[in-house]
Structure 1
């Protein structure tokens, strides 16, 4: 199931340079196309307009104190990548269930309040989820399914917090999906939609 590719967490140090806001979620989706992914996130793909991450950041800042949830989408290999600057919808069980039906989702989330989450859902069911900042906290139908990959990228449940949890999380995503995310992938304009907020339970 796991690709085994990737050289480690150091490959993703560039992540901190992107305008992803105080929180972000990245969801890798396989089994459905970009338009259907957006529909499953609750957005109308016909409303998508091209935006850069910088433009998304400015739009979200201009909307304050109101919350503006935007998601950008792009195809990377066999996977659709959904980028949520200042977002968290792909951490929610409801969203993971709908989006992964007939396919697979691996999502990575973190914010500045010492909260992170990696979620792996297949065909409507959450297999594994854990906090990359506190990797001994795991849940789902198969909470230990990603343990070998976790250890390979430095997310050791018995070893404390990884030196760079975000980079380790993306290294894990690479090993699960076979997709090496690059800074160039997230540069330029990406089709972007407004999401309807779903609150955490």
Structure 2
């Protein structure tokens, strides 16, 4: 018997993201199951073959509600005033459609057909009444209402109210409580269970296995889980019906790695604390540096035997951008009120060298080689990623410590890069790098790399060197 046009419009097999149902049904391809939206706003999932309703969501009173599949990936029943009555869980922008399958499951799928959420035709109340899991495992017909604990009592798997499963150490474990592994498995409050069919569920949602393993293409109906086991080493294992490992969190290996890192860190801490403090007064005067009040991001490039105009030109400043200014002028240009960042440099003559100061810049880091043409340049940069120290001579890099070479620089070791990696080593030895505690009373001394730069250049700056006007430049090309 042929369906009328109205009957066909009232029955859909796919609800696409952005569409809604009102007084319509979402029907499985074989017609056995249907998600019916009734005009009173009630949402009913019906077994057509058995002529019975498997579950339903009612709207309070006589207020109507529509069923929407939002573009954010949520299936939501909400009233005309926008009040949500029921939803599928949480936002998932991968979702493109809602379907009712021939096996009676309501699912949300992505563009490749992978299931992102499901509601099984099982009784949620019956699932919640299953036997609580005990010991070190969740077995068939059991629910995770309390933690299951490894035989040695050091690791526990529990479920949080927010819908996450969490593996954590117990308070009795070495190091006390800490989270080792976690995964979102379902809607808040949906209890994890292992059904008689070998399917992991969060409430009525059977896409737990995909989320647990991170393999969204996995078809849970083809995998039978017999146990979820917490092991002494700190792994959680999903065991198949034949005893094989379906999935293992591999947190034990990570725990071993972290333990090794902690041991190495503790050994370094012990070694560092055993070093003596640097004697007070053994360093260069730092009053000049304090007077500059530089932030955590700046560069000072020392260039020998050139004047300020030449140094700024080598830094990349245009000739018409070079003008007289004070240090305060350079700082103001580096931090303009109308913009988040600015670019400026001030060239200050100091003992046969020119100190090119960039209060909020880093051009010297990239132009150090060309700034050293026919002479030499030493670059010191302090930034969020660390310290950069480099010595360039006549267009060649003698020794370069980049921001990820902290250990070599702090230990007074040769530079990882450059034609003369040991160029700074003698000056490092003079300030005791590697001999004294690294962070001891650092406020009493210049930053080590800056002190090394001054020693290598053979200069002793004074606060008055930076007073008054000097040549400087502001350039948008340095942004």
TM-score by length of 1: 0.79
Q: CA deviation at 1:13?
A: 5.3
Residue 450 of structure 2 is matched in structure 1 by: 170
Specify every segment of 5 or more residues in structure 2 that has no aligned partner in the other structure, as ranges.
1-280, 410-414
Residue 478 of structure 2 is matched in structure 1 by: 197
Superposed, 1:41-120 pairs within 5 Å as 41-63=315-337, 65-92=339-366, 95-111=367-383, 113-120=384-391
Aligned equivalent of 2:396, options 107, 120, 125: 125
Calculate the aligned-residue CA RMSD, in Å.
Answer: 2.7
Higher relative contact order (CA 8 A, sep 6+): 1
Quick check: 1:143 aligned with 2:421? yes
In structure 2, the CA distance between the partners of 1:85 and 1:175, relative to structure 1 (3 Å rule), is same
In structure 2, the CA distance between the partners of 1:169 and 1:183, relative to structure 1 (3 Å rule), is farther
Q: CA deviation at 1:14?
A: 5.0
In structure 2, the CA distance between the partners of 1:153 and 1:131, relative to structure 1 (3 Å rule), is farther
Cα-to-partner distance string for 1:90-109 (whole Å, 9 max, x where unaligned):
112xx112111111001111
Cα-to-partner distance string for 1:69-106 (whole Å, 9 max, x where unaligned):
100012222212211111111112xx112111111001
Distance in 1 of aligned mates of 2:314 and 2:284: 33
Q: After TM superposition, which residue ranges in structure 1, 4 or more long, deviate above 4 angstroms?
A: none
Specify every segment of 5 or more residues in structure 1 that has no aligned partner in the other structure, as ranges.
1-6
In structure 2, the CA distance between the partners of 1:42 and 1:19, relative to structure 1 (3 Å rule), is same
Superposed, 1:6-45 pairs within 5 Å as 8-12=282-286, 15-45=289-319
Q: CA deviation at 1:161?
A: 3.3
Residue 4 of structure 1 is matched in structure 2 by: none
Cα-to-partner distance string for 1:127-146 (whole Å, 9 max, x where unaligned):
11225882515222222221
**8 Å contact kept, 1:48–1:191:** yes
Cα-to-partner distance string for 1:35-65 (whole Å, 9 max, x where unaligned):
2222211112443233222232223332553
**8 Å contact kept, 1:19–1:54:** no
Residue 128 of structure 2 is matched in structure 1 by: none
Compare CA radii of gyration and give the structure with the larger one.
2
**8 Å contact kept, 2:374–2:394:** yes
TM-score by length of 2: 0.36
